[in-house]
Amino acid sequence: MPPTRLAAIAVAFALAVSGCSGGDDDDDATDDTDTSSTEFERASVELEVTRAHLVSPHQARRDLDAATRDAVTGVVEDLLLVTSATPLVEGKTGGGFADLFTADAGARAANTDRAAIFDEGVPRFGELTTETATVAMTGLAGSMDPATELVIATFRWDVRSAERPKDRIVREGQLHLVPDDGDWKIGAYTIVVTRTVDESTTTTTATTEPDE
């Protein structure tokens, strides 16, 4: 079964940029716009959910409830938005990173594993062309408590620069999410990112364990 392609990311446009070029080779169109407004690309991420199952003791595998599915999808989308789409499109990292992780995992992701987690230091891609943007998840319910106790989310995020199609970022990973005060947070992760820029390809990996 071929994987579903192109679930999407939206790169939006707003207003016209004026006078921001300072030497950049900006589009000619910017010369004609109102200097009081700015056109810039805004990053966004939308993932296609390809599977959302729940495993629990003594019951057949079944669908994960919609609330958990949507919440977990939102966390993964936010992670990609903050760490990849925003840096690539807007040239900066997004906000709210720490809210996506448990404390220990967040500290590790922001420091030790930063090179794999963030697409920083990469030339701006501008508008993105999405090859793949999917997430699949499997939850595990409790033996004594039927609530979902953890979710493993597997994602693939494969985007190119619309301007320079050879420049490409492919992020794949498994995230271990746990409930935390009404939210779902990433408690552990395995992330592999392959970056192709200027015809040079590098692969970086980061892995933590559930109790780290």
Partner 1 sequence: MIRRLLAVVVALGMIWAAGLWRDHASAGMVLYKVEPTGIAGYNPGRWTDTTFVLLIGSDERAGLDGARGDGLHVVGLNAKAGRATILNIPRDTWVDIPGHGEGRVNEAYRYGGAELQAETVRRLTGAPISYVFTTTFAGFIAMIDALGGVEVDVPYLMSDPNSGAAFNPGPVRMTGERALAFSRNRHIPDGDIARTGNQGQLIIHGLAELRKKGTSPLDVIDYLDVLFRNVRTVGIDSTDLYRLGWMTLQIDPSQVRNYTMPARVGTVGSASVVFVRQPEATSLFVDFADDAILQNH
**Binder to partner 1 among 99, 142, 183, 204 (CB under 8 A)?**
142
Burial 167-189 (b: 16+ CB within 10 A, else e): bbbbbbbbbbbbbeeeebbbbbb
CB under 8 A: which stretch of 69-77, 83-91, 143-151, 158-166 binds partner 1?
143-151
* Single-letter amino acid, residue 131: E
Q: Does 102 bind partner 1 (CB under 8 A)?
A: no
**Cβ atoms 162, 127 nearer than 8 A:** yes
149 binds partner 1 (CB under 8 A): yes
Among 47, 88, 89, 188, binds partner 1 (CB under 8 A): 188
Nearest in space to 110 (alpha carbons), one of 206, 40, 34: 206
Q: Which residue has the tokens 């992020």?
A: 171
Q: Is 122 in the site for partner 1 (CB under 8 A)?
A: no
Nearer to partner 1, 58 or 200 (CB): 58
SS3 77: helix
One of 176, 185, 186, 206 touching partner 1 (CB under 8 A): 176
Residue 140 in the binding site for partner 1 (CB under 8 A): yes
Size of the site for partner 1 (CB under 8 A): 24
Q: Output 61 or 114, the one with its CB closest to partner 1.
A: 61
Given the DSSP bridges, would you call strands 41-43 and 59-63 parallel, antiparallel or unpaired? unpaired
Q: Does 143 bind partner 1 (CB under 8 A)?
A: yes
Query: Which of these, 134, 36, 130, 34, lies nearest to 77 by C-alpha position?
Result: 134
For partner 1, the closer CB: 73 or 130: 73
Q: Which of 74, 71, 87, 23 is nearest to 47 (CA)?
A: 74
How many angstroms separate the CA atoms of 201 and 112, rounded?
22
Q: Please report how close the Cβ of residue 192 comes to partner 1 at its closest, in angstroms.
A: 12
CB of 1 to partner 1, least distance (A): 16
Can residue 61 be called a binding residue for partner 1 (CB under 8 A)? yes
Judged by beta carbon, residue 122 or residue 178, the one nearer partner 1 is: 178
Tell me the torsion sign for CA atoms 10, 44, 186, 121. positive
Please give the residue ranges that form the binding site for partner 1 (CB under 8 A).
55-61, 138, 140-144, 149-150, 152, 154, 174, 176, 188, 190, 209-211
